């Protein structure tokens, strides 16, 4: 490590630098302090060097498509503007064939992954969700199915009467290869009650991922920040993920998701600051020492801040996406997707090496 000691660095920050340099894990108090410090440059450099030890200058992306079979949802989470009630204007539930027709309009041979999430639609049986994956897998067998959140999996157990493991095994038979990271929000039951997160609770979210990892399904995980939670809530969220990773080693990437306002015309005071976004990415890298990648999600923080985040601990910029809907329904002002060429340009513009990957971070092409 070659972290510069800033003349303004206080004793507490120096202690944290020493811990990181010596491979000593940061605790709750350390994480909260890092949110409170105004020494952003030392924090960023510390996270950058932690990332360089893991990944060098490589930054990963994937050619993928985001697919949404249904926006009908039984839950009424306070932060969600994607969901609809059955029969409400704008609600929809697509069949497997209808989704195939949509994909065929936009598909090209470079796409390696379908990122599939949607509403908790209790007007259709569990078999609908199985058949949805099966139809895609049969039509596009070369494309990896990264499908459903842990909250959706818990929902499937309730409408099917099956256990978590049984649900996952049925989905695996249909072609499931990985779970998305959504549904975590903030891993605090008090937060979930206040924000009306009437879906999987903390223990259920973690148990779904634990079970998936035990079945050989590697997964992604998220944290939705920027509403009512405290800095300590965020740090405790990260530590719960870190503890499960110690147990299973099944998480591939941690994705901090910056909360979006429901109104696209909302002013800057209703959005997270760039300062807060960079801090959260850097702190995530330092707290989650056992997860290989932290993602800078350009859909939520924008392409240019994503470039800066690559010097604050991020090693992944997600993918081409094509027609992202959930964050944009909630007021995101960013592009709905980027091309491969644009992602390569974005990463190279930050002085990093773009690496096209598959779902499991196997390298497809390195753009030297």
Q: Are 242 and 288 in contact (CB under 8 A)?
A: yes
Q: Is 69 annotated as a binding residue?
A: no
297 backbone φψ class: left, alpha, beta (φ>0; ψ -120 to 50): beta
Q: Is 77 annotated as a binding residue?
A: yes
Query: With DSSP H G I counted as helix, E B as strand and the rest as coil, what are the percentages for the chain, rounded to 5?
Result: 45, 15, 40
Burial of 101 (0-12, 13-18, 19+ CB in 10 A): exposed
Burial of 52 (0-12, 13-18, 19+ CB in 10 A): middle
Side-chain-facing half-sphere of 84: CA atoms under 13 Å: 15
Q: Which CB contacts under 8 angstroms, 24+ apart, belong to 1-4?
A: 1/49, 2/49, 3/42, 3/45, 3/46, 3/49, 4/42, 4/45
Separation of alpha carbons 152 and 150, rounded Å: 5
Q: Is 324 annotated as a binding residue?
A: no
Q: Is 73 annotated as a binding residue?
A: yes
Q: Is 82 annotated as a binding residue?
A: no
Q: Are 116 and 109 in contact (CB under 8 A)?
A: no
- Start-to-end CA span in the chain (Å): 25
Residue 281: its H or E element: helix 274-287
Identify the residue whose tokens are 């390696």: 112
CA distances from 12 to 15, 22, 44, 308 (A): 5, 16, 16, 25
Binding residues: 73, 77, 79-80, 185
Binding residues for [4Fe-4S] cluster: 73, 77, 80
Binding residues for S-adenosyl-L-methionine: 79, 185
């Amino acid at each position: 490590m070659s972290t510069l000691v800033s003349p303004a660095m206080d004793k507490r920050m120096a202690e944290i630098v020493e811990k990181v340099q010596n491979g000593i894990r940061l605790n709750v108090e350390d994480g909260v302090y890092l949110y409170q410090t105004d020494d952003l440059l030392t924090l960023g450099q510390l996270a950058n060097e932690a990332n360089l030890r893991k990944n060098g200058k490589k930054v990963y992306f994937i050619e993928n498509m985001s697919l949404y079979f249904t926006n009908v949802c039984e839950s009424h989470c306070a932060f969600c503007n994607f969901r609809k009630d059955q029969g409400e204007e704008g609600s929809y539930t697509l069949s497997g064939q209808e989704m195939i027709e949509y994909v065929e309009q936009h598909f090209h041979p470079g796409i390696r992954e379908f990122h599939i999430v949607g509403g908790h639609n209790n007007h259709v049986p569990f078999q609908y969700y199985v058949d949805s994956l099966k139809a895609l897998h049969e039509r596009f067998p070369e494309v990896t199915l990264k499908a459903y959140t842990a909250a959706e999996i818990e929902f499937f157990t309730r409408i099917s009467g099956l256990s978590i493991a049984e649900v996952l095994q049925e989905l695996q038979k249909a072609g499931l290869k990985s779970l998305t990271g959504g549904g975590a929000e903030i891993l605090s039951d008090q937060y979930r009650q206040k924000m009306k997160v009437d879906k999987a609770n903390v223990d259920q979210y973690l148990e779904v991922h634990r079970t998936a990892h035990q079945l050989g399904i590697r997964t992604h995980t998220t944290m939705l920040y920027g509403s009512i939670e405290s800095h300590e809530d965020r740090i405790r969220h990260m530590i719960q993920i870190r503890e499960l990773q110690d147990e299973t080693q099944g998480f591939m990437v941690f994705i901090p998701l910056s909360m979006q306002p429901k109104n696209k015309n909302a002013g800057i005071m209703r959005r997270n600051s760039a300062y807060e976004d960079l801090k959260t990415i850097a702190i995530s890298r330092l707290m989650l020492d056992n997860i290989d990648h932290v993602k800078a999600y350009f859909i939520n923080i924008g392409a240019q801040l994503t470039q800066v985040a690559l010097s604050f601990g991020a090693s992944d910029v997600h993918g081409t996406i094509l027609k992202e809907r959930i964050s944009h329904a909630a007021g995101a002002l960013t592009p709905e997707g980027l091309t491969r060429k644009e992602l390569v340009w974005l990463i190279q513009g930050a002085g990093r090496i773009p690496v096209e990957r598959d779902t499991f971070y196997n390298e497809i092409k390195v753009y030297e």
